[in-house]
Each structure stands twice: as structure tokens, then as C-alpha cells.
Amino acid sequence: MKYDNLQLSTKNRVAQIVINRPTALNALNPATLKDLDLAFKALSEDDNVHVVILTGAGEKAFVAGGDISVMQPLDSQTASRVARLAQRLFADIESFPKTVIAAINGYALGGGCELALACDVRIAAETARLGQPEINLGIIPGWGGTQRLPRLVGPGKAKQMMLTGEMVTAAEALQIGLVEQVVAADQLLESAQTLAEKIASKPQIAVQLIRKAVNNGLDMPLDKAIEYEADLFGLCFATEDQKEGMAAFLEKRSAQWKNR
């Protein structure tokens, strides 16, 4: 499938999606959101893909935000409808059946930061800048930022970022837990690919269950989340991979995963 605003490639069970609107700093307009939706749906059905890397074209931006030229004339009801469409897409990415890594190559602002927040892991180039500057436009983050950002960095830091609209550097993003790794800009995609291939080499049922346990458990009281974890732990013992993994450990050999 061809996309107007994306580039899609695969290598070693890893798909790479490049948001390709460099002249607009890869800002998200409705057509790009639609392309992302279609691409993730296609990849969900591709058994040869275990991990997805999401990045932006060029050196300046991952995604600089939503396309302001599209949003400026919206009325209240239309703006809410657009927000819900983007929220649904980002929720689908967060619950995607395969691991998603954001390779943040430049500005990740507004909707771009919110897109990165929906991914499982965030790796940033040392030149990247992240933030929720919507306050400077007279609006609030509306694509999940007011909810996902506090869950990552804590409510105080999240409020500071959103109330001031100030960007954080990649180094500060690492310090506050907004990203998991910072690398030199020219090593970003290589580092993301290395991590993706490592995750792709693991038993994928267990990978999916770990992601479910973390994502769903965060919204549960601790006692309920622990029960949920035990249920998912038990599911592992109905898989061929559990039997193979434990047999390989006891026999001191490498496991041969079947993802069954």
C-alpha cells in the first residue's frame, strides 16, 4: 500500500514508519492521521513484523505538532471531534498488538509529543526537543497529553511543562522519565533498530502480555493489578514458548521461539 504522507519499510521483523511532511515539520493533518491509521492496521495483520519504529523525515522534527493551519478555523464541536479521532488513533497505537518505539529525531511538540507518549519506548536524538506548548495558542493538549504525560513524569512536572509551554531538551527528558534513551543524532535509527530487533527476537506472546500488564495495570488499584498480573502469568503456561523457554534453560541451550 502507498501512503501520501508516510514511508514504510521492513527489515528483520521490524517495520519503520517515517512521517514524511518535512516542509511542514511533519505536522499532523487529517490525511497524515488517516495514513497512520491505515499503516498500523496493515502492520497488525503482518505476521512477519514484531516491532514498529515510528520516526519523522528530515533532521528537524519528529512531529512538530498538529497542523495549525487546519485547526485554526475549527469551531468548538469540530475541534472536539478532531481531538477524539486523534485520541482513538493514539489509543490504538498504545494498545497495538506489537511493540512500538518512537525514534525522536527532532522537535516532538504538541500532538507530536502526544504521539510519542502513546508508544511503548521513546529513544531521542541528543538534539531533540519535547514539549506541550498548546498554552501558547490559547488551548490545552487535546490528544492525550494531559493524561499520559503526568503518568510518565508525575503531575507536578507535567503541569509545569503544560502551563509554561516550555520545551525540554533530550537530556532533561531522559532525567524526568519522558524518554528512555538519548543517543547521538546520527546513531538514532541504528539504536532504535538494535533495540527493536532485540525485542523482536523475544517470545512475542510474553512481550504482548508484559505490555498489557503494564498498560492496563496502571489504571487499576494495586491489589486488582496484582491479580491481573497473576492471570496473565498463568496464561503464559498455556503456551509452547513457556515450555520451550524453561526446557532450554534447564538444558543450557538457546531457546527456539515459536510464538505459540
Q: What per-residue confidence (pLDDT) applies to 32?
A: 96
Q: Which residues are designated catalytic?
A: 114, 134
Q: What per-residue confidence (pLDDT) applies to 131?
A: 98
Where do the domains of the chain lie, and which CATH numbers do they carry? Answer: 6-200 (3.90.226.10), 204-250 (1.10.12.10)
Residues 37-66 as b/e (b if ≥16 CB within 10 A, e otherwise) read eebbeebeeeeebbbbbbbbbbeebbbbbb
Q: What per-residue confidence (pLDDT) applies to 1?
A: 76
Packing angle between helix 204-217 and helix 240-250, nearest 10 degrees? Answer: 110
Q: What per-residue confidence (pLDDT) applies to 238?
A: 97
pLDDT 10s digits, 68-84: 999 999 999 999 999 99
**Chain Cα centroid distance, residue 209:** 17
Tens place of pLDDT for every residue, the chain, 260 residues?
789 999 999 999 999 999 999 999 999 999 999 999 999 999 999 999 999 999 999 999 999 999 999 999 999 999 999 999 999 999 999 999 999 999 999 999 999 999 999 999 999 999 999 999 999 999 999 999 999 999 999 999 999 999 999 999 999 999 999 999 999 999 999 999 999 999 999 999 999 999 999 999 999 999 999 999 999 999 999 999 999 999 999 999 999 999 99
Q: How far is residue 53 from each of residues 211, 226, 249, measured CA to CA in Å? A: 16, 30, 30
Q: What per-residue confidence (pLDDT) applies to 111?
A: 97
pTM of the model: 0.95
pLDDT 10s digits, 204-230: 999 999 999 999 999 999 999 999 999
Measured between alpha carbons, how far apart are the two ends of the chain, in Å?
29
Confirm if 39 and 92 have CB atoms less than 8 A apart.
no
Q: What per-residue confidence (pLDDT) applies to 164?
A: 98
Q: How far is residue 258 from each of residues 9, 35, 204, measured CA to CA in Å? A: 24, 31, 9
